[in-house]
Chains A and B, each alone.
Chain A
């Protein structure tokens, strides 16, 4: 496990943009009413936001970023644009470069994409803060999110009701007065088949097989172009790896767990988050949730939860935060940081 420490980085703002369209679990007629109620009880998902056919993840990130840049008047100061997503606009070029141009950011800025999901926001913070602490990069725009609903199949109860769409923008900057950030990051490719879209890239290029749906088990029908998720394997991975990695990071940072004010976990499902919370013996009030009204929003889930649940000064100033993302890959990452002075906004886009 990589244990890292970075200096001189502060987050100035976290903006999130979600689609206006709400899809409720209770209306998911593919499964029985009893199953819908059990699904909501177990995952916590009451409803989620779904992007229209013509809206991409980058559109949602653009809305969040453009508003952030206008509010903070920093369009000409951004040196690096990072786009963390697994639903880019195109195979190529990188979506970050398209967004650099679309946002009117200087051509002197660096831009590149990072292909990560649930762990992606924390990885993005790590990459950004490493560039910033060098001193040569002053401001980084981190864009993270996914349009996961593009790859889920209505007739697959294991994925369709789980995912929501969201795009986020986070502005990080060089700050000599900032407190240190501590990261732990890890990967295990043995879990690659637990969450995967098998066809459509170079291992299995698109052909005609992707149009054929197949019943995998009752209630789960999908084709090779759809997102496949093995809930049991993901659940076992999370139970095994997340709490120990957080404990190891707390020890590395010499941070007493009792003194951490908020634990913002990736919103995979409520059962996973509750299990991790109980393992770490954390009070429920310290673990905010957004999955109830937004579903699993992949790399957007941590910033979305901050924008939804921690948007007041009293909950941000001088508080110690632990953010932890885990899932597809498998990949998992945690950071301990301070969010003092952060401006947040939750926007909607039709």
Chain B
């Protein structure tokens, strides 16, 4: 999965986010209506699509979608 496909999945999962509004450089905490509930949804999404278990601590250390994608790539490899 490339980063554009990853962004499409995030946009599909988060109702509040408009399609084609996210970029790799988007800080996910700045996304419309971001809350702790979205963090759980993101962890579930990552677990489901990448089979990678992301801890809350790891997520807290990340800023942008690119950061997250890079971490997932390194964990998958």
Contact = CB atoms under 8 A, between A and B. Distances in A.
Given A34-B33, A35-B35, A41-B15, A231 B53 contact: no
A260 B77 CA distance: 34
B40 A232 contact: yes
Across the A-B interface, give the 7 residue pairs with the lowest CB-CB distance, nearest first. Answer: A232-B56, A275-B44, A42-B37, A271-B44, A38-B37, A239-B47, A278-B48
A343 to B, nearest CB: 37
Interface size range on B against A? 10 to 19
26 contacts: A34-B16, A34-B33, A35-B35, A35-B37, A38-B33, A38-B35, A39-B37, A42-B37, A42-B41, A232-B36, A232-B43, A232-B55, A232-B56, A233-B56, A235-B40, A235-B43, A235-B44, A236-B53, A236-B56, A239-B44, A239-B53, A240-B53, A271-B41, A275-B44, A275-B48, A279-B47
Given A38-B37, A231-B40, 8 more contacts: A35-B35, A42-B40, A158-B36, A235-B43, A240-B53, A274-B44, A278-B48, A279-B48
Interface string A36-67: 00110110000000000000000000000000
A309 to B, nearest CB: 23
Nearest to B55: A236
B39 interface: yes
Interface hub of A230, A232, A233, A279 (most chain B Cβ within 10 A): A232
Interface in B22-77: 33, 35-41, 43-44, 47-48, 53, 55-56, 59
A38 B40 CA distance: 12
Interface residues of A, number: 20
Contacts of A233: 56
A26 to B, nearest CB: 16
B18 to A, nearest CB: 15
Contacts of B35: 35, 38
Prevailing SS type, chain B contact patch: helix
A236 B53 CA distance: 7
Given A42-B41, A239-B43, A278-B48, A231 B36 contact: yes
Interface hub of B15, B44, B53 (most chain A Cβ within 10 A): B44
A265 to B, nearest CB: 15
B58 to A, nearest CB: 10
A231 B55 CA distance: 11
Contacts of B37: 35, 38-39, 42
Contacts of A231: 36, 40
A34 B35 CA distance: 11
Interface in A220-255: 230-233, 235-236, 239-240
A87 B61 CA distance: 37
B55 to A, nearest CB: 6
A233 B16 CA distance: 25
Contacts of A38: 15-16, 33, 35, 37-38
Nearest to A158: B36
A41 to B, nearest CB: 7
Contacts of B40: 42, 231-232, 235, 271
A281 to B, nearest CB: 11
Contacts of A240: 53
A158 B40 CA distance: 12
A161 to B, nearest CB: 11
Contacts of A279: 47-48
A264 B47 CA distance: 21
Contacts of B41: 42, 271
Contacts of B48: 275, 278-279
A235 B47 CA distance: 11
Nearest to B36: A231
A154 to B, nearest CB: 18
